[in-house]
Amino acid sequence: MAGLRFRAGRRFGTLAGLIGLCLLLWILTPHFLTVANALNVMEQTSINAIVAVGMTYVIISGGIDLSVGSLLALSGVVLAEALKGGWPAPFAVAASFGVGAAAGLANGLGIALGRLPPFIMTLGMMSVARGAALLVTDGRPVSGFSSGFRSLATGHALGVPSPIVFTLAIYAVAALVLSRTRFGRYVYGIGGNEEATRLSGVEVRFHKMIVYGVSGLTSAIAALLLTARLNSAQPIAGINYELDAIAATVIGGTSLTGGEGSLGGTMVGALIMGVLRNGLNLLGVSSFLQQLVIGAVIIAAVLVDLMLKEKRA
């Protein structure tokens, strides 16, 4: 019981932070609180939010995945090359998701069976996947797709831009899996106490592999949206995306030591970063100051979180 209350409390803290931030921006600029801008922010947040789904799984399981940005680039160029090669879109998408998930599973294999620290394995994969993406494309962006394909990112459903619809759907499924399935409980168990989980008869190594596979898959889904949005897949896409995804996850209250966290929190964390970037653009803040402010807010958000945690404990 105590654990449940505790988790709810943390989520409330970050949500209050997001609302406070929105209020501040609403006071500072008339352009912030409009329907067009709200949709704009959510659309811009979608890529990071989707990458952060896999990151949340990984971090709850006690690991870290530094390769997500490179996996995004690799699955993006695989998708683009397949489409350019005349593959029907569903096959191209399947190939791209397959490559993303397979590279993620390879991460899991090295970590679970090879006993490599996740930091090292995914750091290596970050470079391997980036190199592969550059090799496949000869370093050049691959672009020019059919308007049907581009509408994946540029289309609307009931006036809502499709990236937002995708993001909500993915969060709904991923949150359900995390909270309602046996696999979801194992993810928390592995992150909380791996040894105890193993001793209670859970095949820890297998489930760890799946966790990294999920992370590769969500990177590939983000790649699909990014490629459709830019009408181009770049081998140098996604640099530093791992840092954004980790920041969204941690701001959202997921513990870097594993065992606790939630996707709702991660969504709020991603929105805080998106709103902040959007607001600083609207205010015309210098690009250098923006970096400083974003860093300060990440630190402040986690600090508030820790304080609430202390109060509740």
Partner 1 sequence: MIRSDTSVGSDARRRADTRVRHYLLISIVAAVALASIACNRGTATTGRPRVAFVLKTLNSPFFNDMQRGAEDAAKKLGVDLVVQAADREIDVERQMQIIENLLQTGINALCLTPSGSKEVVPAVVKANRANIPVVIVDTRLDPAASSEAGAKIASFTGSDNYEGGRIAGRFITTASGGRAKVAVLEGIPGHETGDSRLRGFRDAVRDTPDVQVVASQTANWERDQGFNVFQNMLQAHPDIDTVFACNDMMALGAMEAIRAAGKTGRIRVVGFDAVDDARKAIEEGTMAASVAQFPDEMGRVAVENAVHAIRGEPVTPDVRVRIELVTKKGG
Sequence-ordered list of residues with C-beta below 8 angstroms from that of 50, at least 6 positions apart, any chain? 166, 167, 170, 218, 221, 222, 225
Q: 31: how many CB neighbours lie within 10 A of its CB?
A: 14
* Nearest distance from C-beta of residue 113 to partner 1, angstroms: 35
Provide the pairing of β-strand 156-157 with 160-161: antiparallel
Smallest gap from residue 106 Cβ to partner 1 (A): 26
**Cβ distance to partner 1 smaller for residue 35 or 90:** 35
Judged by CB, which is closer to partner 1: 26, or 206? 26
Residue 306 CB neighbour total at 10 angstroms = 12
Count CB atoms within 10 A of the CB of residue 237: 24
Closest to partner 1 by CB, 94 or 304:
304
For residues 242 and 215, is the Cβ–Cβ distance under 8 A? Answer: no
Nearer to partner 1, 125 or 233 (CB): 233
CB of 43 to partner 1, least distance (A): 8
Write down the least CB distance from residue 13 to partner 1, Å: 12
Interface positions with partner 1 (CB under 8 A): 24, 28-29, 31, 34, 36-37, 40, 44, 47, 138-141, 143-144, 154, 226, 229-232, 234, 236-237, 239-240, 277-289, 291-293, 296-297, 299-300, 303-304, 307, 310
Q: List the one residue out of 243, 242, 216 whose CA is nearest residue 76.
A: 216
Shortest CB 84 distance to partner 1, Å: 13
The nearer residue to partner 1, 74 or 105, going by C-beta atoms, is: 74
Shortest distance (Å) from residue 72 CB to partner 1: 10
Nearer to partner 1, 249 or 278 (CB): 278
Closest CA to 272 of 116, 34, 48, 9: 48
DSSP code string of 115-184: ---HHHHHHHHHHHHHHHHHHHHTT--EE---HHHHHHHH-EETTEEHHHHHHHHHHHHHHHHHHHSHHH
Contact 207, 183 (CB under 8 A): yes
